[in-house]
Structure 1
């Protein structure tokens, strides 16, 4: 009998939502994705301590200014951890541009190019790297330029149809529509619990997948931010699913078949004029949940980056 994890891999590419090397080796995902919150957790893992010490020592030799040391150490550490992950997974590893740059297109592009350059210095080609950017108007425009330079992007913190459409039209490589955080918002607003089939986050991601299929977009849709395996299994067939170690363990422990729930068999013939900035901002603004969760997500990532910078400063 196959496990649910093995069965799920027949329909969707599984991505590990962690920086834990042991978990990545155990569950053998195709790709891995990181963010400041996950790097913060990885900072305390025993397996990374020698890498952290080497990176910080290297930074001290390169710059003397304390503030510059912390900024450089953050980038180098993210890339060092990402490089370790890239050596394990057959596919790509996602590395995030600072959430604090979410509304600065030029700074986001500059940081993305710097991250790719740091990876290449460690022997990891840009084809193995996805640059994660928040799905703001500025982040999407930055991704559009970077894609044309051959730097593939993963647009994250995606909660609205407007964000998804803008990403598709910009030709980004991959988007990460969130499931759990969408459902969290509706549960708080309504006081309801949801089953997999009426789950607002699941419905949202299914809608994004259908839109991509109906309009013939090649952008990869990767469901993210899962709270339980019911949500994961309800999106079997979505291009990719990024899953935490705890849920990967649960899927690997359960035996049983998995039914495809998402199809990519749309005609791909529908067409729309590209949306303008004003249309994007208005349509996103009309979705109260998406507005709240995008702003909250950027703040959370920025807060975790501040904590990580504090830990780095102490170690330096």
Structure 2
């Protein structure tokens, strides 16, 4: 089953969708944390507490030693912490080391199947191709997902394909049809997935008809119906 992650650091949004039972995990990054007017460390710790599934927390160092130091610190926030590491030479080294230590990683800023292959070989738990940014640059982001999913299946890579930089619900459907393992999206995209004008219209009609039933049967009370 495809997993749905929320790409945000907004605690209210995370609580909202987590309470619906549709949220499998959360991805964050420095940009998302910067949008919130709170201590980023406390926000990350709170997300870890709210969400039972994987929560990606990103390092900001670019050298191997800094990445590893931050990764070990972030991993202590909770057993469901996943460390986001950029797709760079030092990032691959960090993924290899962390993987050998049993720390889950998410290789971020991936833009090609070649990069995805290398991240998988280094031992990444997740690899995150950024399809929206590829589309913005005139490339076919979804083709990268197709190629990566096929390659991973060909060689039985355990690394999961996490579709990132999702712009709209069509991206979600296409990624799910291809067979991506995870799709992470901002709250507004998830809200659009829930909403449909025909659902609203149908509900309005049902409620109006029920009012007619109550007028014809003044004593009806559903609360009195025995389970």
Instruction: Report the TM-score range of the alignment, normalised by the length of the smaller protein.
Output: 0.7 to 0.9
Q: From the two aligned structures, give the one with the greater strand fraction.
A: 2
TM-score (norm 2): 0.80
Whose helix proportion is higher, 1 or 2? Answer: 1
RMSD of the TM alignment (CA)?
1.6
User: What residue is the counterpart of 2:113 in the other structure?
Assistant: 161
- Residue in structure 2 matched with residue 264 of structure 1 by the alignment: none
Q: How many residues align?
A: 192
CA distance in 1, matches of 2:138, 2:109: 17
Task: Specify which of 5, 27, 32 is matched with residue 15 of structure 1.
Answer: 5
Provide the rounded CA distance (Å) in 2 between the counterparts of 1:112 and 1:144: 12
Q: In terms of Rg, which structure is larger? A: 2
Which of the pair has the greater relative contact order for Cα pairs under 8 Å at 6+ separation?
1
2:138 aligns to what? 186
Number of the residue aligned with 2:149: 209
Residues 133 and 155, structure 1, Cα contact 8 Å, conserved in 2: yes
Query: CA–CA distance in 2 between the matches of 1:209 and 1:255?
Result: 33
Residue 77 (structure 2) pairs with residue 135 (structure 1): no
Question: Deviating runs (4+, > 6 A) in structure 1?
Answer: none
1:240 corresponds to:
182
Instruction: Find the aligned partners of 2:174 and 2:74 in 1 and give their Cα distance.
Output: 35
Give the superposition deviation at 1:255.
8.0
Residue number among 5, 26, 37 corresponding to 1:32 in the alignment:
26
Would the aligned equivalents of 1:13 and 1:30 in 2 still touch at CA under 8 Å? yes
5+ unaligned residues in a row in structure 1: which ranges?
A: 1-10, 53-76, 188-199, 257-316
Q: Please say if residues 18 and 34 of structure 1, whose CA atoms lie closer than 8 Å, have aligned partners that are also in contact.
A: yes
- TM-score, L = length of structure 1: 0.58
